[in-house]
Amino acid sequence: MSRILLIYTGGTIGMMKNPETGSLTAFNFDELLSNIPELKLLEHDISTLSFDEPIDSSDMNPSSYVKLASLIEEHFEAYDGFVVLHGSDTMSYTASAISFMFENLKKPIIFTGSQLPIGDLRTDAKENLITSIQLAGLTKLGNPVIKEVGLYFEYKLYRANRTTKVNAEHFEAFESANFPALAESGVNLKINYEKLMKPNMRKEMLVHKSLNDNILVLKLFPGLNFKTLYHIFNTPNLEGLILETFGSGNAKTDPWFLNLIKNLIDRGVHIVNVTQCVGGAVFMGKYATSEELKKMGVISGNDITTEAAVAKMMYLLDKKLGPKVFKTIFETSLRGEMK
């Protein structure tokens, strides 16, 4: 029997429909077992915690990440695994941030949510919740099978920092285009053991609870002009820029654009190049349209998602690293977030 802590941060999964008004109201997680009797069939000891004021995922921010990380750290020794219930819209951002905040993680932290409220007749919430708890409680020879931050949705467990929400309508809301699922739920739970993170069990776990959010994400598009970009690039206190480029890392070659990029780098701003494509990777220098970015020292995001790049940038900026060290570390996989 594994001890599992269920943490509700907010989101659709924690809503119940009022039978009289039809409106959605927050679910009382102190009464979780009575409202979801199926949980009593699980061979796990389940405890629950909830944010004092549940947060819509659109309102999640770095201080929310720190609050969640602190909750997990506070109860870390008392439980074998953790399941975080979270709104789906920004789940990949939060889960990616938590993956960087926990260094040498040796227990599962599984994020899940739903497209429909838990009280809805056709809800996907119950299956997502029950299987997430089973995965968090999965052991082999007395040790957790999963030792990383995962995201479970619609029969698949993904590495959290590899995910992106791709659909607001279907139950298959998330995708991990550049990395296979860690587990699939069918008649049996099928675990992809080869792809699981294998932390060094001799190293102590560290929890990093300071993030730097002086960053911007800029999606390039044809027609982006000098005046707009000049204004954006002169944002006060800007320390990091994630540039969503075309294809394999390509961008405009207009001199004014390249000069703005170079001026930003000269000011000490770290710039990371990620692709706008759902799948694939940045390969600067493959085409002439990315060669100049490479020469200027723009950091390659390789096959990292924008969500993971945001989290990694916030995590690394707080370390106050020099430009060369920052570039080297960013281009290195720290939590399995890139190849």
Q: Is the pLDDT of residue 31 over 70?
A: no
Cβ atoms of residues 175 and 163 within 8 Å:
yes
Superfamily of domain 2-207: L-asparaginase, N-terminal domain (3.40.50.1170)
Model confidence band, residue 143 (pLDDT cutoffs 50, 70, 90): very high
Per DSSP (E only), the strands in the chain are: 2-8, 15-17, 24-26, 44-50, 81-85, 102-103, 109-112, 139-140, 143-144, 149-153, 156-159, 164-165, 174-175, 183-185, 189-191, 206-207, 215-219, 240-245, 270-275, 299-300
Residues with Cβ < 8 Å from 206, sequence gap 6 or more? Answer: 102, 103, 104
The active-site residue, picked from 9, 12, 245, 306, is: 12
**Mean pLDDT calculated for residue range 292-308:** 97
CATH architecture of structural domain 215-330: 3-Layer(aba) Sandwich (3.40)
| Global confidence as pTM | 0.95
Domain ranges (residues) in the chain: 2-207, 215-330
Note the pLDDT tens digit of each residue in 239-280: 999 999 999 999 999 999 999 999 999 999 999 999 999 999
48 part of the active site: no
Residue with tokens 């390249």: 258
Q: Is the pLDDT of residue 122 over 90?
A: no
The answer to whether domain 2-207 and domain 215-330 are alike in fold is yes
Note the pLDDT tens digit of each residue in 73-102: 999 999 999 999 999 999 999 999 999 999
